């Protein structure tokens, strides 16, 4: 069953799964070649809330002779959750920290960038990323009149979303990344909330942006049986070429990855290390994925195996799950087993949420002792 619209259908015939997979890859393209360091160990936490916290984590890895290829930052580093900004108080000296770990330890640094650009009035907050987007006319429009900038709500609350169908969207995105890189010399990027997520609203956030005849009301059937606008951009939002969000929604993350990949390739002239939450067929030509917010449980550790393999079959070769789990507290045994498994992920990153107990390897040195062996010895 389909909701309508236009679709291209492909049929693959082969004698075995390998032949079918190869035929599929001939359509979607060759996977992106990532830098070698992307295969190393990555450390992150939503809750490393200062530059000092990042320094302490790196120091612990170094003093413990533990492998660490890349230090990451979640949304903590941003100024009021605004993309392409740095908190001037809590993350003062972030650029120097990055330079230091790059030169002293040959480590890399990856920050998160969300899809929603904070929507701020110039009179109250002279926010360059939003102002430049308005000037270039690169934000998705509301379905109420097709001219007003669509307003969603994410971590920064009111937010506008780059429209990858807009003529100047790629140039705008590249300019923002160049300016951000001048502040913090990152080596890769983590693209999150790019379904695109509208987590504080269902469709439209403000009544004056609602379409007079919502398209969802006319669909012959609702995939999954749930509200398609739940935590998502309005299906009536309009792109630059007249395409409704209804028809473009699944492409959003992949188009964002594509434009980000182009910046790395053309401006930085580097292999691309992009980790995305959302993807579509062919995204593996431009970037890689992690499996999203998981739970600290044996079941989710098991799910990660088929999750990584499924991504590989789909042409995304660098994939992985949050090691030890993202939601809820882990245990020494679970985390130790997950470290063992996670070392075999193509993309290996320990990551958990701000309200959880820490799960860096040294946290469990007393809990995970068998004679003189500790979890750090196992790693």
Work out the angle between the directed axes of helices 298-313 and 332-342 (0-180°, nearest 10): 20
The pLDDT, as a whole number, for residue 377 is 53
Local confidence band at 362 (pLDDT 50, 70, 90 cut-offs):
very high
Local confidence band at 371 (pLDDT 50, 70, 90 cut-offs):
very low
What's the pTM?
0.95
Residues 317 and 279 sit within 8 Å (Cβ to Cβ): no
230 strand-pairing partners? 202
For the question of residue 55 being annotated catalytic, the response is: no
Q: 164, 194, 190: which is closest to 177 by C-alpha? A: 190
237-259 residues labelled b (16+ CB within 10 A) or e (exposed): bbbbeeebbbebbebbbbbbbbb
Q: Is pLDDT of 370 > 80? A: no
Q: Is cis: bond before 196, omega within 30 of 0?
A: yes
- Helices of type H across the chain: 17-28, 51-63, 94-104, 128-136, 169-183, 245-248, 252-263, 298-313, 332-342, 375-378
Place of tokens 């942006």: 209
Q: 108, 52, 47, 98: which is closest to 74 by C-alpha? A: 47
Local confidence band at 42 (pLDDT 50, 70, 90 cut-offs):
very high
DSSP 3-state of 225: helix
Please state whether beta strands 319-320 and 288-290 pair in parallel, antiparallel, or not at all (unpaired).
parallel
pLDDT tens-digit series, residues 287-310: 999 999 999 999 999 999 999 999
160 strand-pairing partners? 117
For the question of residue 195 being annotated catalytic, the response is: yes
Q: 11: Cβ–Cβ under 8 A, 6 or more apart, which residues?
A: none
Out of 74, 79, 192, 360, which one is annotated catalytic? Answer: 192
Local confidence band at 372 (pLDDT 50, 70, 90 cut-offs):
very low
pLDDT tens-digit series, residues 204-261: 999 999 999 999 998 888 888 889 999 999 999 999 999 999 999 999 999 999 999 9
pLDDT tens-digit series, residues 129-164: 999 999 999 999 999 999 999 999 999 999 999 999
Cα–Cα distance measured from residue 173 to residue 261, given in angstroms and rounded to the nearest whole number: 11
How far CA 131 is from CA of 39, 178, 351, in Å, comes to 37, 16, 33
Task: Please give the domain boundaries of the chain with CATH numbers for all domains.
Answer: 32-290 (3.20.20.80)
Cβ neighbour number for residue 202 with a 10 Å cutoff: 13
Q: Is pLDDT of 103 > 70? A: yes
Q: Is pLDDT of 183 > 90? A: yes
Cα–Cα distance measured from residue 266 to residue 276, given in angstroms and rounded to the nearest whole number: 20
Local confidence band at 280 (pLDDT 50, 70, 90 cut-offs):
very high
Local confidence band at 114 (pLDDT 50, 70, 90 cut-offs):
very high
Cα–Cα distance measured from residue 256 to residue 194, given in angstroms and rounded to the nearest whole number: 8
Q: Where does residue 182 rank: exposed (0-12), middle (13-18), buried (19+ CB within 10 A)?
A: exposed
Cα–Cα distance measured from residue 319 to residue 309, given in angstroms and rounded to the nearest whole number: 8
Out of 195, 229, 236, 256, which one is annotated catalytic? Answer: 195
Cα–Cα distance measured from residue 40 to residue 36, given in angstroms and rounded to the nearest whole number: 8
């Amino acid at each position: 069953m389909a909701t309508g619209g236009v679709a291209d259908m492909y049929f693959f015939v082969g004698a075995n799964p390998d032949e079918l997979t190869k035929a599929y890859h001939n359509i979607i393209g060759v996977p992106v070649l990532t830098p070698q360091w992307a295969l190393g160990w990555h450390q992150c936490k939503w809750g490393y809330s200062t530059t000092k916290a990042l320094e302490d984590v790196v120091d612990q890895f170094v003093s413990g002779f533990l492998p660490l290829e890349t230090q990451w930052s979640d949304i903590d580093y941003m100024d009021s959750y605004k993309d392409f900004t740095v908190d001037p108080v809590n993350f003062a000296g972030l650029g120097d920290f990055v330079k230091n770990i790059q030169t002293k330890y040959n480590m890399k640094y990856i920050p998160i960038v969300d899809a929603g650009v904070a929507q701020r009035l110039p009179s109250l907050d002279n926010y360059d990323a939003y102002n430049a987007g308005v000037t270039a006319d690169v934000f998705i429009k509301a379905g109420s009149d097709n001219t007003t900038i669509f307003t969603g709500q994410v971590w920064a609350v009111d937010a506008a979303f780059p429209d990858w169908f807009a003529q100047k969207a790629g140039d705008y995105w590249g300019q923002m990344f160049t300016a951000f890189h001048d502040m913090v010399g990152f080596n890769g990027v983590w693209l999150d909330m790019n379904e695109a997520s509208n987590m504080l609203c269902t469709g439209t956030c403000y009544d004056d942006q609602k379409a007079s005849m919502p398209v969802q009301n006319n669909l012959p059937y609702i995939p999954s049986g749930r509200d398609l606008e739940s935590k998502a951009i309005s299906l009536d939002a309009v792109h630059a070429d007249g395409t409704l969000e209804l028809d473009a929604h699944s492409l959003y993350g992949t188009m964002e990855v594509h434009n980000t990949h182009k910046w790395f390739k053309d401006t930085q002239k580097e292999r691309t290390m992009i980790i995305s939450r959302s993807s579509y067929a062919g995204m593996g030509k431009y970037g890689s994925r992690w499996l999203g917010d998981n739970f600290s449980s044996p079941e989710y550790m098991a799910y990660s195996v088929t999750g990584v393999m499924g991504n590989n079959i789909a042409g995304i070769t660098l994939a992985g799950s949050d090691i030890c789990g993202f939601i809820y507290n882990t245990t020494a045994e679970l985390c130790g087993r997950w470290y063992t498994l996670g070392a075999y992920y193509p993309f290996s990153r320990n990551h958990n949420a701000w309200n959880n107990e820490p799960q860096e390897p040294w946290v469990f040195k007393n809990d995970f002792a068998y004679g003189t062996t500790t979890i750090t010895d196992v790693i």
